Amino acid sequence: MIYCLTGKIIKKTLDTVVISCAGVGYAAQAPTTTAEALPAPGREATLYTVLSVTENDVSLYGFATEEQRACFKMLTAVSGVGPKAGLSILSILTPEKVALAASSGDHKAFTAAAGVGPKLAQRIALELKDKVGKGLAAGTGFAGGGAAAPAPASAPAQAVAALVSLGYTASDAAAAVARVDETLPVQDIIKIALRGLSRV
C-alpha cells in the first residue's frame, strides 16, 4: 500500500492533487481542504494516501494530514459510505469535527456534505459513535489511530479528555463540548460543558 508520497506539487484543483515523485506524477483525488492546505504548485509537499483497488478501478486518494487519512478510512468503513461521500464530508468537516459530531450523535452535521442524506448521516453517527468516543477520550480523535498520540492539541479535544477523566462517558462529554463555542479557552469550554452536564 502507498502510505504517503513526498515530492513536488505539479497541479492542484478543488478535488485533485498531482504530485511528482521520482519522475512519476501521481494524481490523487482529495477533499477541498487538502488542496487548500498544500503549498502552491512547484513546491515540495507530503501527501498521505489511501489506495483503493476494485474490480473496475484503481484510485488514489490524498490528504494533507495523517488524521484526515485515518478519518477517511474510518468513514469509508461505514456501510454505504463510498470514497466520494468520504471526500465530501472531509471537504466540509475537519477530522476533529467529524469525531465530535459522531460521538455526540449530531448526524445533521454530516448532511451538509454533498451526497449524504439523512439516513446515511444517521448511520455514520451511529456506527462511529463508540469508535471516535474512545479515541477522543484517549486524546487521539480516532480509536486505534496508530501510535500513542500526544495530548490533544485543540481546545474541544482537550475538554472532552478532561471531562472523561472526571468520570463522564466519552459520548456525553463530546455532546456537551459540541454545544460550546470551540474558540473559547479550554478552561471555559470545560466550565460551560460541566454546567450543561449538571442539568441533565
Superfamily of domain 4-63: Nucleic acid-binding proteins (2.40.50.140)
Residues of the chain with CATH 2.40.50.140: 4-63
Q: What is the pLDDT along the chain (200 residues), one digit of tens a residue?
A: 789 999 999 999 989 999 999 999 999 999 999 988 999 999 999 999 999 988 888 999 999 999 899 999 999 999 999 999 999 999 999 888 888 888 778 888 899 999 899 999 999 988 887 777 655 555 555 544 443 333 445 788 788 878 877 788 777 888 888 888 888 888 888 888 888 888 75
66-199 in CATH: which number? Answer: 1.10.150.20
Dist CA 65 CA 13 (whole Å): 18
Which helix (H) or strand (E) segment is 37 a member of? helix 32-37
Dist CA 80 CA 98 (whole Å): 17
